[in-house]
Structure 1
Amino acid sequence: MRRHLPLKLRESHSDAEGDVEGSRHTIRILLAAVLALAVGLQVAAVFTTNVHWDEFALLHLADLTAHSGRLEAGGRAGLAVAMLIPLVEGCESEIEVIRRARLLWVGLTFLWLAGLTLWLAHLAPRSRTRWRDAGFGVALLALTPAWLDSSLQVRTDHIALAGTAWGGALLLLSLQRPGLALAAGACFGLGFLGSQKALYGIALAGFLTAGVTLREDRLRPARETLRCVGLALGFVAAVGLFRLWAGANFDVAETSQVHRPLDAQFVAQGLSLFDFYRNTIGWSQYRSMLTDLVPHTLLAVALIAATLHALRTRNTNRGALFLACGALTLGIGVALFHAAAFRYFWLTLGVFLAAAFALGLEPILARLPAQARGTAIVGFAALLGIPAALHGAARLSDGQAVQRESLAFVHRNFSAETAGFHPESGLFCQEGAQPLPTFFSQHIYKRFAGPHRAHHTHRLLQTFRETPVAFLVQSFRLNQFPPDVRQFWHENYQPYQASVFVAGRRFSGTRGESANFELLVPGRYRWLPSGGATTLAIEERVLAPGESVTLQSGPHTARFVETVPDGLLVLALNDPPGEAPVAFYRQP
């Protein structure tokens, strides 16, 4: 019997190993399937999710750069604009360009997540659960509605986040191979060329690397000096090479952020903008996200409790918990400082929480009974996964329909040289013919709420008359302009199709009356009564319903040869009028 016992034990052990390996294989298959599904849903949402105004503005900068030869980076170094120029050259459809740009950005997004996973896994290089913990941290970031919406948008943040994630990972790996610090610095430099928000990620990477180095008791002055030098050289090389390339291919002003990314004037403007946001949106968008962050709130409470327990018991998890709490505190500090508290900033803030909870997961689970750990993980997976799946499915409803139809209507009915106006510069395929800059809320406030309000109002209305501007595309920001500008638009532009307002006038009157009016745009105008088949006389020409007449810009007189309940005299276009006005943007 004793001779056979070791054999049975070996067989039992072999069977157990086979079961474990089989379970791991099944888990890998499930993870691969989930990842493939996530990629598929992200790609599908490219074609359905409503385009954000920041996307239009960024593509507009690329279009301006392509037409002028001058690098228009919008206060940034310009890497994102340079990447988008091939997509806007000769474009005919803004929506198609944005879709192609989004597909490129989907690649950037998954490159970022891959780098983030590698980064988080090497925060605890000796842990057997490091890849599980890293995946958990990434899931906490990505399985939120704010991330699902914002990650799909074409933003400079993606470059900053991808650069800092890979830079953070390589900086940790340089503990073993110091030469990798050079590559880490280059990644940080590329991130910075995307957006100055990369500084937040670089700060987190520096904090975590210092913490891991001290925690692992591996501080070696000679090596650290070599790593710091490599890090600086990599950063300077990336930024310097881009400057040389930009200078060789574009006209770059000396005052551009390409040359002076953090000069005093830029910092002062940024702080002034923060003051504007503090006094307008405040924390309203963050408050609207609180219900989506219940799992994160529960984990934060558990992390603090585990840290307090570790302080009392002096257990071996103290280092990881202190580092986790430090990352969480740093993230809170960034949130308080960065007053542009929009939903999309979760892309950056979520990285701090991902790092904190990847570090804190194992110590938190260690406080639970062994049999409860699996239940806790499954419960959290459901708490994260179910809302994310529902929101991900909701993104597949066609939120681009109004935008697509509005911009297609413009291209069908107006030449590429015809001027129109959309506050966020959504008409970037109009061959640079748009006479007005991008108007975000802060720009409107600065121009029309200050001491020079009357001057800027006069200049704006003069531009509309002299250009002339033939149509408007709706935006909620039109209502942020002063009342006299809104009244001017109300009188001179009429809702025609989807989100498009067309130059023209609205008439109603009693038989025998007359009305003096002004037209801004010369051209052929069509009479479209809506309260019955009524006629209208313009000067001496009597217009039957649907009849058109050529008119010059300037003053005119309308005579009511019969009572007109309501009607439009608008530019004669190929398309008939339809349902209008319809909101151009869909609020999240």
Structure 2
Amino acid sequence: MRYARWGFVGLGLVLLALAIQAARLALHKGFSIDEFQYAHAAWLVAKGQVPYRDFFEVHLPLLYQALAPLFWLLGDDPRAVLALRAAMLVPLAGTCVSVAILNRRQGPVAMWLAPILLLSLTPFTRFATEIRPDALSTALFLGALAALSVRPGTRGLGFLAGLLFSAAIWASQKVLFYGGIVGLVLAVDLLVRRGRRPAQVQCPGAFITGASVGLASVAAYLTVTSSWSAWWQWCFVWAAEHQRHYPGFSWRDYAVPIVREQPWLFALAALGLASSVRAGWREGAGRWGDADLLLLLAVGATFGSYALQRAPFPYSLLPFLGVLAPFMARGVWVLSSGWRSRPARIVARVALGVMLCWQWTRLESLLDGDGNTRQREVLASIATLTGPEDVAYDNSGGYVSRPHAHFYFYTDAYLRGAIPDQLSREVPEALLARGCVLRVDDLRTSGLPPALRRFLDTYYQPYDGDLFLWGQRYDVTPGAVLEDRFLAVREGRYFVEPASVLDTGALFIDGARVTQPELTLSKGEHRLRYEGAAARVHLLWLPRDGKRWSPKPEARPTYSRLF
């Protein structure tokens, strides 16, 4: 008993160490470009805007609705995105509890090992700690499976399973595929078994009530916000077109390297999966009510959902990796059960400890470099340079908690290729109409239509490699008089840079000589004339902090990252 007790203490300490590592990743790992998009959508929801109707969005909105209250508490500081990252530890914790419950019948060791091995799986913890719909939908889906797996079932667990299942669907369209396969089996079970053993749903009325409450809430939301049509158009009609035409790649591009990087975990999963299939088949007619049946179906369904995507990015593996975790733990149990002698068991435990230490170092490597230090500096600059009412522009919502200019606040490769003329025409018009003073450079800038890029290059000057503020640059021909125009995007304070051009020459705005570096201009075009020896003159928007700045064209972008 003493050795068993110390063994569970050791497992608890390992789980705690991995949980701390996950928290470190959430707070310090660099932000992926999509996370800013989701964070900005959550901020918009917090401001009362409705996805699909008020701003472009093609993902189901539960993540934004769940995270929006954080902005009510923390305000409009862009650095609140760190709190959103921390909040993603909640669904991660729920996932860990669910995979432990799914191994409840296999005993306490398998229960402890399931979340341990899941957190040690580098690609899972890497993406599950990010702001992503996939992380939330995976937690909800596994929670539903865990609630259904408990034997004997109760009305409370049945209601919870139905509610979690419907919530998972509201979190991601991907659940409609892998959850649809599981849901089809549940529907047949409800119609044929009606709760009679062997049955997957042991309390059908409670399950249907829970699912109905979730779906009724969704219907009520879409009705109250008058967004049924827009929701259908963007989340299904447009998403189907996107899936057909997006420039895709093979599922092997990311999946195969992931398996090669940690083959021992996938080998354990295969062993545990084979053992579970064999045990289930031996149950005879009772196999159709076996608690593992839905989990076994989910393995194929989640992998199929990933492999059939046009662009299967690695975060889409989250549900597949989640359903594999219980089988990884069972694989350890199958191996250890064959080693009867105490020395052999000690060797096995040491080997497992060594492999977990190796996985821990792989997780630690995700923090190599500056993590999100530079990104936090950019977010702090946005908070300093602009106010909550100042409009910003990029293609990913990288400004997080600032108003965007155009309905398409983010674009992807398919959208930029599908409507280039519309973007070239409408985005500049929106930037001018909304008085947009800030642009954040991101990975998608290079893919914008050429006409739009020219507009951005003309009217936004580099504050650093990542942030651009409104202003214009004038190159002066030696010995010539510069005659040009300046477009003030909004009424406000502007300044001349460098200020020395006022001492070495004469600058006129609308015919009046400028004698001080800072000046107030009304919105619209102004005539500009310069007589002097300066080779280059800038007229720039004065940021909220009132500090003049010099453009840095040599600076390179580091803020926007794919993963």
Q: If the length of structure 2 is used for normalisation, what is the TM-score?
A: 0.79
Of 129, 152, 158 in structure 2, the residue corresponding to residue 181 of structure 1 is: 158
Q: Which residue of 1 aligns with 2:173?
A: 196
Deviations 1:357-395 (A, max 9, x none): 345444456678977665455435433432433433653
Q: Which residue of 1 aligns with 2:225?
A: 251
2: CA distance, partners of 1:377 / 1:276: 50
Deviations 1:63-121 (A, max 9, x none): 333434646694555433333332223854444422223333212211221112111x1
Q: Secondary structure at the match of 2:540?
A: strand
Of 384, 388, 393 in structure 2, the residue corresponding to residue 416 of structure 1 is: 388
Does the C-alpha gap of structure 1 residues 30 and 560 become closer, same or farther in structure 2, counting only changes over 3 Å? farther
1:70/1:252 contact within 8 Å kept: no
2:270/2:328 contact within 8 Å kept: no
Matching residue's letter, 2:212: V
2:100/2:112 contact within 8 Å kept: yes
How much does 1:291 deviate?
A: 4.4
Q: Which residue of 1 aligns with 2:67?
A: 84
Q: Which residue of 2 aligns with 1:388?
A: 360
The aligned length equals 536
How much does 1:197 deviate?
A: 3.3
Does the C-alpha gap of structure 1 residues 131 and 406 become closer, same or farther in structure 2, counting only changes over 3 Å? same
1: CA distance, partners of 2:517 / 2:45: 43
Does the C-alpha gap of structure 1 residues 53 and 470 become closer, same or farther in structure 2, counting only changes over 3 Å? same
1:405/1:498 contact within 8 Å kept: no
Does the C-alpha gap of structure 1 residues 548 and 65 become closer, same or farther in structure 2, counting only changes over 3 Å? same
1:198-277 aligned at under 5 Å gives the runs: 198-199=175-176, 202=179, 220=196, 227-241=203-217, 243-244=219-220, 246=221, 251-255=225-229, 257=231, 266-277=235-246
**Larger Rg over CA atoms:** 1
2: CA distance, partners of 1:422 / 1:455: 16
How much does 1:242 deviate?
A: 5.4
2: CA distance, partners of 1:464 / 1:299: 54
1:510/1:560 contact within 8 Å kept: no
Does the C-alpha gap of structure 1 residues 525 and 151 become closer, same or farther in structure 2, counting only changes over 3 Å? same
How much does 1:496 deviate?
A: 0.8
Does the C-alpha gap of structure 1 residues 241 and 455 become closer, same or farther in structure 2, counting only changes over 3 Å? closer
Matching residue's letter, 2:8: R
Q: Secondary structure at the match of 1:388?
A: helix
Percent of aligned pairs with the same amino acid: 17
Does the C-alpha gap of structure 1 residues 225 and 557 become closer, same or farther in structure 2, counting only changes over 3 Å? closer
Does the C-alpha gap of structure 1 residues 303 and 110 become closer, same or farther in structure 2, counting only changes over 3 Å? closer
Q: Secondary structure at the match of 2:28?
A: coil
1:16-95 aligned at under 5 Å gives the runs: 21-68=1-48, 70=50, 74-75=57-58, 78-89=61-72, 92-95=75-78
Q: Which residue of 2 aligns with 1:402?
A: 374
Matching residue's letter, 2:386: F
How much does 1:557 deviate?
A: 4.2
Deviation larger for 42-51 or 416-425: 42-51
Matching residue's letter, 1:470: V
1:71/1:251 contact within 8 Å kept: no
Deviations 1:442-468 (A, max 9, x none): 4xx33x423x53343122222223333
Q: Gaps spanning 5+ residues in structure 1: where? A: 1-20, 211-218, 258-262
Q: Secondary structure at the match of 1:154?
A: coil
How much does 1:493 deviate?
A: 1.0
Of 100, 105, 108 in structure 1, the residue corresponding to residue 88 of structure 2 is: 105
- 1:525 is the counterpart of 2:483: no
2: CA distance, partners of 1:325 / 1:88: 39
2: CA distance, partners of 1:256 / 1:517: 41
Of 310, 314, 335 in structure 2, the residue corresponding to residue 339 of structure 1 is: 310
Does the C-alpha gap of structure 1 residues 62 and 527 become closer, same or farther in structure 2, counting only changes over 3 Å? same
Of structures 1 and 2, the one with the larger relative CO (CA 8 A, separation 6+) is 2
1:506/1:569 contact within 8 Å kept: yes
Does the C-alpha gap of structure 1 residues 108 and 307 become closer, same or farther in structure 2, counting only changes over 3 Å? closer
2: CA distance, partners of 1:469 / 1:530: 24
How much does 1:481 deviate?
A: 0.2
2:459/2:472 contact within 8 Å kept: yes
- TM-align CA RMSD: 4.3
- 1:441 is the counterpart of 2:412: yes
1: CA distance, partners of 2:233 / 2:542: 52
Q: Secondary structure at the match of 1:188?
A: helix
Q: Which residue of 2 aligns with 1:144?
A: 121
2: CA distance, partners of 1:183 / 1:279: 37
Does the C-alpha gap of structure 1 residues 583 and 388 become closer, same or farther in structure 2, counting only changes over 3 Å? same
Does the C-alpha gap of structure 1 residues 536 and 572 become closer, same or farther in structure 2, counting only changes over 3 Å? farther
1: CA distance, partners of 2:126 / 2:485: 45
1: CA distance, partners of 2:222 / 2:196: 40
Q: Which residue of 2 aligns with 1:571?
A: 541
Does the C-alpha gap of structure 1 residues 558 and 35 become closer, same or farther in structure 2, counting only changes over 3 Å? farther
Does the C-alpha gap of structure 1 residues 29 and 285 become closer, same or farther in structure 2, counting only changes over 3 Å? same
Matching residue's letter, 1:82: Q
1:514-553 aligned at under 5 Å gives the runs: 514-515=481-482, 516-522=484-490, 523-529=492-498, 535=504, 537-539=506-508, 547-551=517-521, 553=524
2: CA distance, partners of 1:348 / 1:409: 36
How much does 1:501 deviate?
A: 0.4
Q: Which residue of 1 aligns with 2:191?
A: none
Does the C-alpha gap of structure 1 residues 35 and 407 become closer, same or farther in structure 2, counting only changes over 3 Å? same
